[in-house]
Structure 1
């Protein structure tokens, strides 16, 4: 059963319950008000007639006066000297002991009327009666008995029930017609979202739904659209990533395959040329190994931020030890590698990963800085941040490429080619490690003048506050 049908049936059940409850309540209230009105009328008439009683024995004149009133009234009224005489006056059987028992007699002797409501089989309806005492010096000289058979509630409300039923049916029809359209209107966005979700599951990531309003359903539609956009972008990135990986692996594989076939077929006769072919195969194999290792590293960092094992760490000492390993390479290329470190800075970090960051950054700087250049690494404190800045005098990065330089496999065509030996994943790995430490990576460069890479890390006390 669809959601629209469920809403429609819920509305129908609610309306039927409301109409039934309202009808039943009106019947109950009408009956109670009707009985109360009849009792009030009988009491007022009984009190008025009782005022004409002057005391002493009940006279025939007083009884005739009451009989005359009986002919004019809308109810029955009798005056009798002895309550047992009622049996001869009223057209239905009466149990005297039940009508006026000891309790009722005490009430009458206190000059208080007695009210009775009971079912009479002859009339097949309830009868309301009032007994008014006629007293003289605490002696009961007679009674006035007033009664009226109540009209059956069904008789009273017969016409009302017809109009009520007709009105309720019309109202129910109109309301359900509107309710059906309203239910369809409410569930239409949900149907569209269900269809969109199915299409997403089938791989159509371009699917979008209209946002009908700013309510919860509209917010759900916006969320679904954002999710579809994210999946679409991620799918495009995945396709691009796979295409780039295939392209990156194709080149070294083609080299390895070509040169291996040349060697195995005996086409290469000279030893020097054979050595060169072996060198190319070894170089491309190492390149493939680096590429696969970097890919595995990047996938691990992107999928599991908990891979970082963070401990309180004196960052300056980690930087110094890493630079000691890299200074021979800088010296070999005749590049000045210097540092300026604040040894008071403590962060919460993974020492191995941070060393990897420094190695990747220095390696890039060394690769794209000419002989005689310089590289300077500075660590300082600024407010609640640890700032690590690496400046080089290298060839720099064009302005249009700076924002994309951390993307996977991104290379600057003018300066960074496959022959340089990089995999195009180093800065992507660096950025993921920095983000895993709650930090921020910023790159500023001027083409032909050099590059500055700045990393911000939260200080240890801020990490504790979190």
Structure 2
């Protein structure tokens, strides 16, 4: 149930916003329409009042009789649904239309009711007109002008109840429209909220599985938006974490094997020497084997320590200026025995006799040792290794190339990964896939680049860059 919290929050928040917005708009619209409706009614009553004035003038000059006058007033009465009073200057009602249950003829109004009108003003009031009506009315009063002079007043009273009923009908339609809109909005927002919350819920479930070591869960990417991008990134992260977890497990297994195997060998040989199983004359031979295994374990532990230092930032660089060509020569001499054992020829191609670079000499020697060692391992017996340096702008490019079994294209991007081995069986190498990871880490610490290419025609080539010594102008 708790996994639907985001969905419910999105749904109710959006519905609340829509409901609040539509309620405010409805109230504003009702007020605006009410004002418009009353203003329009007032305008109509004023226009009809002018017509009443004309009819009264016709009656005064004798164009129509009293019956025609009453008939015309009653027509206007029914047309605008308003009762009509004709009032003299002293406030006495002497004519009224028939739209009244009570007879107001002869009733005298107060001076306050007509004094503004007798000054030529038009009045508009809402209410009970001084308590004379039991229901609220809209009253419009204006001067009665006969023969060019103000001779009284004309009052028109329209029941507000009828107008309010019309407004309430409109308001009911608005409420119905709001209800329908909310239902439609509920459906649409439910759909869009699920489109947003479902991937996040899937990510939450997948995260819990990942915490337990299950990296196989993938998020279904539906939309090409921010949520879709997040789902894609999550899937990439899951794949990478799964790959790293597999590499870690493989690393633990490999290291365990690499340590257990030489330890078993060393223990067996030493036990044999101690208990006399191995004759004294052969003890030196077996102790030398144990010594080699000890050195191999020492190298493995040293590589692991280097990785730990690099990952913790405790791997400082001691930058100096040195001749990279000379360092390559010394590294080749150091590995001459291994090169001879495989009957390899080393071809060195330097663009210039000296190539001064700025780097950590010891760590670059470690890079060269690793790369040349790899070239020896994977070269065909009787083949060759080609090492070259070339200055390109402000960089020196160092290349180590060998002919032998190539790296598959789909694996070449992974050779730099920690614990990764391209082909565990291709060389019989006892390594655990740490060398190239260390090489790339050292080059990256120098803020330089390293890359590899591999093809049947050209073999495998590793290239890295170093900063060339700046020439003083």
User: Could you tell me the TM-score, scaled by structure 1's length?
Assistant: 0.75
Aligned to 1:128: 139
CA contact (8 A) 2:396 2:465 kept: yes
Aligned to 2:97: none
Q: CA separation in 1, counterparts of 2:454 and 2:188?
A: 63
Is 1:426 the counterpart of 2:435 in the alignment?
yes
Aligned to 1:399: 406
CA deviation after TM superposition for structure 1 residue 78, in Å:
3.0
2:288 to 271, 279, 291: 279
Aligned to 1:289: 298
CA contact (8 A) 2:396 2:468 kept: no
CA deviation after TM superposition for structure 1 residue 2, in Å:
2.1
After the TM superposition, which residues 375-454 of structure 1 pair with which residues of structure 2 at under 5 Å, given as runs?
A: 377-382=387-392, 386-390=396-400, 396-399=403-406, 408=419, 410=421, 413=425, 415-418=427-430, 425-436=434-445, 437-442=447-452, 444=454, 453-454=461-462
Q: CA separation in 2, counterparts of 1:93 and 1:181?
A: 69
Q: CA separation in 2, counterparts of 1:77 and 1:367?
A: 117
Is 1:257 the counterpart of 2:267 in the alignment?
yes
What are the Cα deviations for residues 213-234 of structure 1, in whole angstroms up to 9, with x where unaligned? 3233332222222221111111
After the TM superposition, which residues 19-30 of structure 1 pair with which residues of structure 2 at under 5 Å, given as runs?
A: 19-30=22-33
Change (3 A) 1:67 1:306: farther
Change (3 A) 1:458 1:70: farther
1:357 to 324, 347, 367: 367
- Bigger mean CA deviation after superposition, 352-361 or 168-177: 168-177
CA deviation after TM superposition for structure 1 residue 35, in Å:
1.4
Is 1:37 the counterpart of 2:18 in the alignment?
no
CA contact (8 A) 1:8 1:183 kept: yes
What are the Cα deviations for residues 329-371 of structure 1, in whole angstroms up to 9, with x where unaligned? 5389777775625478676644432222123334555678899
Q: CA separation in 1, counterparts of 2:384 and 2:407?
A: 25
Q: Which runs of 5+ in 1 are unaligned?
A: none
Paired residue secondary structure (2:92)? helix
What are the Cα deviations for residues 168-198 of structure 1, in whole angstroms up to 9, with x where unaligned? 5456445535654554455333333322222
Aligned to 2:329: 323
Aligned to 1:100: 115
Change (3 A) 1:253 1:96: farther
CA deviation after TM superposition for structure 1 residue 17, in Å:
3.1
Q: CA separation in 2, counterparts of 1:458 and 1:382?
A: 10
CA deviation after TM superposition for structure 1 residue 205, in Å:
0.9
CA contact (8 A) 1:77 1:146 kept: yes
CA deviation after TM superposition for structure 1 residue 290, in Å:
0.8
CA contact (8 A) 2:325 2:353 kept: no
What are the Cα deviations for residues 225-284 of structure 1, in whole angstroms up to 9, with x where unaligned? 2221111111111111111111111111112222333344455562x4343444333332
Q: Which runs of 5+ in 2 are unaligned?
A: 95-102
Paired residue secondary structure (2:52)? helix
After the TM superposition, which residues 168-179 of structure 1 pair with which residues of structure 2 at under 5 Å, given as runs?
A: 168-169=178-179, 172-173=182-183, 175-177=185-187, 179=189
CA contact (8 A) 1:128 1:147 kept: yes
CA contact (8 A) 2:318 2:359 kept: yes
Change (3 A) 1:147 1:17: same
How many pairs were matched up?
440
After the TM superposition, which residues 218-257 of structure 1 pair with which residues of structure 2 at under 5 Å, given as runs?
A: 218-257=228-267
Change (3 A) 1:53 1:440: same
Aligned to 2:89: 82
Is 1:144 the counterpart of 2:154 in the alignment?
yes
CA contact (8 A) 1:58 1:81 kept: no
